[in-house]
A = this chain, B = another copy of it.
Amino acid sequence: MRGKPTLRDVAARAGCSITTVSNILQGRSHLYREDMVEQVLRAGHELGYRPNSVARSLARRRTATIGVVLDPQHARLTHNLYAHDVLDGILAFLEPRDYDIRLITPRTNDPAAVWRRIDNGSIDGAVLIAPVMGSPLLEWRCYSRLPVVAVGSTLPDEYGVSCIDIDNETAMATLTEWVIQQGHRAIGFIKGHPLHWSAHQRERAFRRTMALYNLPVREEWMLQGDYSPESGVRAAEQLLRQSELPTVVLAANDDMAMGFLQHCRTLEIAVPDRISVAGFDDSVWVQRMGIPLTTIHHDRYQVGYLAAQRLLHQIETGDAHPQRTLINGVLVVRQSVAMGYALASATTPQPTYSTEGGSRS
C-alpha cells in the first residue's frame, strides 16, 4: 500500500470485502455482526483511512459541493462586502449539512465558456451573486440544467431563476414616504448602476411614491450614478451647483450617499442642516465608520442562508420551479435627514402607510 489508503487496504486489513467496509463506514453497520463492525472500524482507524471524495462523488453522482459564482462584472472579491455577508450566510447553512463551497469567478463574457467552468460536474448547484443585465450567467438555460439561485438581483420572471433579495421597491417606497412625512417636498435622487435591476427598481419605487403624494420629480435632480462612491461625488458636484436645490437627496445606495456626503464636507455644506441625505443598504462601511446616515437595512446574512436553503431544496427534490423570495428592508433612522422639516406645509393626506419597518438602530 503506497499513497493514501483506500477501501481495498482497509478491507484487506479487516479481512472482509470492500462492500462491507463501505457499508460500515457509511453507517450501515446494523447489517453486520458486531465483531465485524469493530474490526472494520479499527482497521480504518489504524490506517488513517479517509474516503476519497472525488471517487465518492463520481459513484454517487453528487458532489456535495455548491458553487458560488461572482458576476464577471465584479469578479474582484475585494471590498465586495455584499458577497461576504451572503457567503457567510451560505456557509452557515451548508456547514452542518456537510456541503462545501467552490468559488467560481469567471473572467470572460462568453457564456459558453462561463458555463463550462460552472457546470462541469463539479458542483450540484450554484448561487449567482448579483448577476447584472446581460451577464453571461443569465444565459443559463441554454447551457445547463443545474439548479441555480440568484441573490442580490431580483430578476424578471422570464429568466426562470429563483432569486432571494431585498424587496427593493417596498423598501425604497418606505424610505421615500418617510422622508416625505418628515416634511420634505423637494427631493433629489441619485440613481444606481443602470445594469443593475435594483437600480431601476429603486428608482421606480421612488418615482411611484412621489406620484402617490402628488410631488413633482424634477429631472435635473435625478442624477445618474453607478453605485460607486465616486459617482456620488460627481452627483454632488452636479447637483450642488444648481441654483435651486432639493431639501433632501436619496441615493440609491450608501456608497453614493457617502460620496455625496464627502463632497458636502468639501464644500462645507452642513448635513442635514442645509441639505439632507439618505442612503440604501446600510453598508458595513457606514456602520463601521459610525456615519449617521439614514438608510435601509437588510439582513444579507439571511439572504445567503435562504439562498443555500432554497438551492439545497432544489437539488434534493429536483424542484426547478423558480421562486422569488423578497426580504424586508428596515428603515434605519440616523441623523442625516432633517426631521420635522417645514412641518407646517406637511399637510398632504396621509396615505396607507405600513408601520412595519419602523426606525431602529
Contact = CB atoms under 8 A, between A and B. Distances in A.
Interface of A: 4, 48, 50-55, 57-58, 63, 65, 68, 75-81, 84-85, 87-88, 91, 95, 100-105, 107, 116-117, 119-122, 143, 284-285, 288-289, 301
Which among A53, A58, A81, A104 has the greatest number of chain B C-beta atoms within 10 A?
Answer: A53
- Taken together, the copies of this chain in the complex come to 2
A288 to B, nearest CB: 6
Given A84-B78, A285-B288, A100 B102 contact: yes
A57 B53 CA distance: 11
Contacts of A87: 77, 103
A285 B116 CA distance: 37
A75 B50 CA distance: 23
Given A50-B116, A91-B105, A143-B48, A121 B77 contact: no
7 contacts: A50-B116, A54-B63, A77-B88, A78-B85, A84-B84, A95-B107, A100-B103
Contacts of A91: 75, 77, 103, 105
Contacts of A117: 100
A52 B121 contact: yes
A64 to B, nearest CB: 10
Given A84-B77, A91-B77, A95-B107, A50 B4 contact: no
Nearest to A291: B289
A52 B61 CA distance: 11
A77 B91 CA distance: 9
Given A79-B84, A100-B103, A288-B285, A122 B58 contact: no
A286 B75 CA distance: 23
B53 A55 contact: no
Instruction: Give 5 nearest A-B pairs by CB, closest first.
Output: A52-B121, A53-B120, A101-B103, A53-B122, A54-B57
A54 B105 CA distance: 19
A55 B58 contact: yes
A77 B81 CA distance: 10
Contacts of A95: 105, 107
A89 B120 CA distance: 25
A33 B292 CA distance: 71
Contacts of A120: 50-53
A88 B83 CA distance: 13
Nearest to A85: B78
A121 to B, nearest CB: 4
Contact of A100 (B57, B63, B104): B104
B77 A4 contact: no
A220 B79 CA distance: 38
A291 to B, nearest CB: 9
B100 A284 contact: no
A94 B115 CA distance: 18
